[in-house]
Amino acid sequence: MMGKTVCYDFVLYLAEICMHTIACCSFKGGTAKTSTVMHLGVFLAKKFHKKVLLIDFDAQANLSTGLGFSSDEEDTMVAVLREEKTIQEVIKQSHIKGLDVVPGNVYLDGVEATAPIVNDLYGHERLRKAIAGLDYDFVFIDTPPSLGWLTQSAFFAANYSMIAAVPEPYSILALNRLQEYHEKIGNHHNLEILGVVLSFWDERGATNQAFVNAIDQAFPDKLFDTKIRRDICVSRAVLRGKPVCDVYPESRAAYDYERLAAEVMKRITGEKEKKKSLEAVHV
């Protein structure tokens, strides 16, 4: 496919960026949330040479299996949340240079109801404390498709959130709930909405503009320009425990995810410059 070279005009900014923690969320399944987390991590490590940590915070452990790890891993965030191990002890290296993973497993489901977390009034702060001081450029947290304790913990640990959606009615309707949830979290924690990612995009869709308008209404100016087009290559690659760029480097999905990674970098740089300007105004 021609025209696959992504332009990185903002590369001069990259050295200024410190660790950013991004919680990727959705209020329903089937939004390509996990695939988005995985491929953003892959491209930020491979193309931008960033140190990236992916935390599988979903009991389904699809992020782990998508990168070739077993869903039955014993060393997961469960042990960290229970203070049985440090996060450094459960971090695993992926086959991609610069990309590390904390696997998930089924025991994440309901972990907040187990000791000692159940007796900790500030249990939702445990993830934030666990990742404090890590030496990464990016930490992505893949949350379950719900607004429960795990997602709340991820939000309190993050300084950005990224919302996964698909151009379907129920996915778009769920954005209103997410918007309300963000406002509640924002009352207690500074959480920037980095953007909304649309996956399974069909450029010929008759209702595309209606979905885009609905997203803009819930999260004004937050929809990423890059949309991830539907591509069977993603599913085929996941079945082999690899990202799509390793198996189908010329696929539409590989191209789209690379462009999305570039746009994420640009947005974060823009947010940082905006904050500097506001700080200068208030001095």
Query: 21-282 architecture in CATH?
Result: 3-Layer(aba) Sandwich (3.40)
Three-class DSSP category at 130: helix
Q: Supply the pLDDT for residue 70.
A: 84
Instruction: Using alpha carbons, list the distances in angstroms from residue 184 to 5, 97, 181, 190, 191.
Output: 41, 38, 5, 11, 10
**Type and span of the H or E element at 157:** helix 149-157
Q: Which sequence spans correspond to the domains of the chain? A: 21-282
**Type and span of the H or E element at 172:** helix 169-186
- The alpha carbon of residue 259 and the mean position of all alpha carbons in its chain are separated, in whole angstroms, by 15
In this structure, the chain runs to a length of: 283
> What is the spatial distance between Cα 16 and Cα 38, in angstroms, rounded to a whole number?
24
β-pair partners for 139: 21, 53
Positions of the chain with pLDDT under 70: 1-17, 271-283
Residue 69, Cβ neighbours under 10 Å: how many?
21
